[in-house]
Structure 1
Amino acid sequence: MAKIVNREEMAQGTIILNEIIASRISRKAKPGQFVILQADETGERIPLTMADTNPEKGTITIIYMVIGKSTARFKDLKVGDEYFALIGPLGKPTHVENVGKVVCVGGGTGIAVLHPITRALKAAGNEVTTILGSRSYDLLIMEEQMKAASDNFHICTDDGSQGHHGFVTDVLKDVLEKEEIDLVVAIGPIPMMKFCSLITKEKNVKTLVSLNPIMVDGTGMCGCCRVTVGNDTKFACVDGPEFDAHKVDFDELGKRLASYLDDEKQSLEAYEKANKQ
C-alpha cells in the first residue's frame, strides 16, 4: 500500500508535496536515496529523492514539480488515493561525517533533496551554511525546515523579492572568499550545479551534486540514466545519484535531458486537454 496521507501545494501550485505510507522504506531509507513511483499501471516510472522520512509514522515525503503527463497524473491524486507502485529505497546514500564547515546550496525542487542531507550533516557536528535560491520568494520551498537544519542561512531570489537579489553562486563566492570551507553540496537545476562546481573547483573545495536523469528500472539494467563522470560512464540509479561535481559532464547531461522537453510539454498539453472534456 502506498496511500497518500498528506498533500500540500507549494510554490503557487507548481510543486506538490505528498506524504505516503511506506513503512519498510521509511525504516531503511537514508539521506540521498530515492524511490520510483508509478501513478497507475500505464503510467511512467518517476524517480524522486525523498525529502523526509518518518519511521514512527511509517511514512516518506516526496516533493515534485509538474512538468509532464506523469507528474500531472501525480498531482491529480488526493489524500486517501494510492500510487500503483512504489519501489525503494534506491541508490547510494550520502556519506555523512563531521568534516568541519559545509555549505549546502539548493534551488527549485533540489531543495527537497537537499533537506535530509543538510539535516544529517548538521547532526554529525558540521557547521552548516545553507544557500537557497528561487526565481521569486513565492516559489521558494521548505524555508523553515532548511533554516532549522542550518547554522547560517541565506536566501537568493532572481527578482530581489527576498534576501540577496541575484543567484546562489553570488553568495557561494562570498562565503568561499571569507571562510575555509571543507565541503559543498549543491543540488538543483543543472546550470546551477554546473556553475557552483566551477566556482568550487577554482578554490579546490570538494563538491557533491545529486543527479536526477531519466530512469526506467532504477537497477542499472536499462542504461537510461547514464552520465559521464570523469572518463567513465556511470548509472545514476546504482552508482549515484550523488557524484563528485568536478568530474560530471554537465553539458552532456543537460543536452540529454533537454531532448525530452518538447515531448513532456506535448504530453502535458494533451493530458490537460483530455481531462477538460
Structure 2
Amino acid sequence: MYRIVLKETLATAVVKMTVEAPYVARKAKAGQFIILRVHENSERIPLTIADYNREDGLITIIYQVVGKATMDLNNLEEGDFIHDFVGPLGKPSEIEHLKKAIVVGGGVGCAIAYPVVKALAEQNTEVFSVVGFRNKDLVILEEEFASHSDKMVLMSDDGSYGTKGFVTTGLETLLEEHKDIDCVFAIGPIIMMKNVSAVTKKYGVKTVVSMNSIMIDGTGMCGGCRLTVGGETKFACVDGPEFDGHLVDFDEAQSRNNIFKNQPVHNLEEDKDCRLLKEIENVK
C-alpha cells in the first residue's frame, strides 16, 4: 500500500499527487512511468513519473481525470492509500552528453516534459522550453519550467496568456536563434508531436517524442500501444516510450488512438457516475 502525502489541483480536471514509494523513487529517471491500481480490483493504468525525490522516497504523478480509473484515483485524498504502485518502467530519456536542447510540451504533456527539463538542467545542459496550452486556465507547471530553463516560451492557442500561437511557432523561433541544438524533445498530443517533428526535420535536428499517451496496460501484452517506427513494429511501453520523431508513423498512431477515444466516457456512463463528464468533454 502506498500513502498519498500531497494532492493538488493544477487546472480543470488536472491533478498532481505525491506518493510514498521509496523503492520506485530510488531508481526513477526522467521519461519512465509507473503502473498503479487504486483498489485491488481496479484497472491497471500507466502514468508517467512527473518528479521524484530519492531522499524522501516520493514519486509525483500528474493525471487528467478522463475516465473511471482516474476518477477512482481522484476520489482518494491525502492520507489515503493506493493499492499497487509499480515501477519505474520503460526506458529513461537519453540525455547524456547533450550540450544544448529544447523541450516542447503541450497541454498535460507538460507534466511529462518537465522531468526531462529538470534532468537536463541538473547535468548542466543549456535547455530551452516551449510549453503550449489552449488557454490561460489550462496552464500548469509554469514556475517549475521557468526555474529549470535557460529560457521558457509559453504559448496559448487563443492568446489569453503568453504568446498567441502553437508551440511550433515558438520552437521555430528558437531554432532560428540557436543553430547548435543537439536534440529536441516533444511531448504532448500526437498531432503536436507530428508537427514539431516536421519543423525539426527541416532544420536537421534530432527529435525525440514520447508515445506514452497510447499506452494501456504498460506490459506489452495487450498490444494497444503498438506503433510503427522506421517501418518496424514497436510497443511504446517496452520499447519506449520515447522514439525518434522523424521515424514514427504518426498518422497510424493517431488512427489507432481514435479507436479508444470514447471508451473512458462509455465506462463512466456504464458505471452511472457522470459527475465529471462535462468537465472531461471541456478539456478534450
TM-score range, shorter-chain basis? over 0.9
Q: Counterpart of 1:230? A: 230
Q: Counterpart of 2:4? A: 4
Q: Does the 8 Å CA contact 1:136/1:159 hold for their aligned counterparts?
A: yes
Q: After alignment, is 94-103 or 166-175 more displaced? A: 94-103
The alpha-carbon distance between structure 1 residues 264 and 274, as it changes in their structure 2 partners (threshold 3 A), is closer
Q: Counterpart of 2:142? A: 143
Give the letter aligned to residue 215 of structure 2: I
2:266 equivalent to 1:266? yes
Q: Counterpart of 2:242? A: 242
Q: Deviations over 1:122-144 (max 9, x none)?
A: 22222111011001122111111
Distance 1:73 1:245 in 2: 34
* Structure 1: 5+ residue stretches without partners: none
2:200 equivalent to 1:214? no
Q: Counterpart of 1:204? A: 204
Q: Deviations over 1:154-177 (max 9, x none)?
A: 100111111111111111111112
Distance 1:66 1:165 in 2: 27
Give the letter aligned to residue 238 of structure 1: V
Distance 1:274 1:124 in 2: 45
Distance 1:214 1:101 in 2: 29
Q: Counterpart of 2:281? A: none
Distance 1:15 1:134 in 2: 13
2:132 equivalent to 1:133? yes
Distance 1:54 1:61 in 2: 9
Distance 1:222 1:166 in 2: 37
Aligned residues: 274
Q: Does the 8 Å CA contact 1:72/1:268 hold for their aligned counterparts?
A: no
Distance 1:238 1:274 in 2: 33
Distance 1:89 1:201 in 2: 31
Q: Counterpart of 1:18? A: 17
| Aligned CA-pair RMSD | 1.6
Distance 1:264 1:191 in 2: 20
Distance 2:148 2:110 in 1: 12
The alpha-carbon distance between structure 1 residues 137 and 275, as it changes in their structure 2 partners (threshold 3 A), is closer
The alpha-carbon distance between structure 1 residues 203 and 275, as it changes in their structure 2 partners (threshold 3 A), is closer
Distance 2:271 2:138 in 1: 24
The alpha-carbon distance between structure 1 residues 191 and 275, as it changes in their structure 2 partners (threshold 3 A), is closer
Distance 1:275 1:163 in 2: 32
The alpha-carbon distance between structure 1 residues 59 and 125, as it changes in their structure 2 partners (threshold 3 A), is same
**How far apart are residue 270 of structure 1 and its match?**
4.0
Distance 2:76 2:272 in 1: 15
Distance 1:51 1:228 in 2: 26
Distance 1:222 1:68 in 2: 19
The alpha-carbon distance between structure 1 residues 188 and 275, as it changes in their structure 2 partners (threshold 3 A), is closer
Distance 2:275 2:98 in 1: 51
The alpha-carbon distance between structure 1 residues 274 and 204, as it changes in their structure 2 partners (threshold 3 A), is closer
Aligned residue for 1:261, secondary structure, equals coil
**How far apart are residue 230 of structure 1 and its match?**
0.8
Give the letter aligned to residue 106 of structure 1: G
Report the TM-score when normalising by structure 2.
0.92
Q: After alignment, is 257-266 or 55-64 more displaced? A: 257-266
Q: Does the 8 Å CA contact 1:6/1:19 hold for their aligned counterparts?
A: yes
Q: Does the 8 Å CA contact 2:90/2:240 hold for their aligned counterparts?
A: yes
Equivalent residue runs for 1:60-209 within 5 Å = 60-180=59-179, 181-209=181-209
Q: Does the 8 Å CA contact 1:214/1:257 hold for their aligned counterparts?
A: no
Q: Does the 8 Å CA contact 1:111/1:142 hold for their aligned counterparts?
A: yes
* Structure 2: 5+ residue stretches without partners: 277-284
Q: Does the 8 Å CA contact 1:135/1:159 hold for their aligned counterparts?
A: yes
Distance 1:166 1:234 in 2: 33
Runs of 4+ in 1 over 6 A off after TM superposition: none
**How far apart are residue 73 of structure 1 and its match?**
1.0
Report the TM-score when normalising by structure 1.
0.94
Q: After alignment, is 267-276 or 35-44 more displaced? A: 267-276
Give the letter aligned to residue 252 of structure 1: E
Give the letter aligned to residue 219 of structure 2: T
Give the letter aligned to residue 54 of structure 2: P
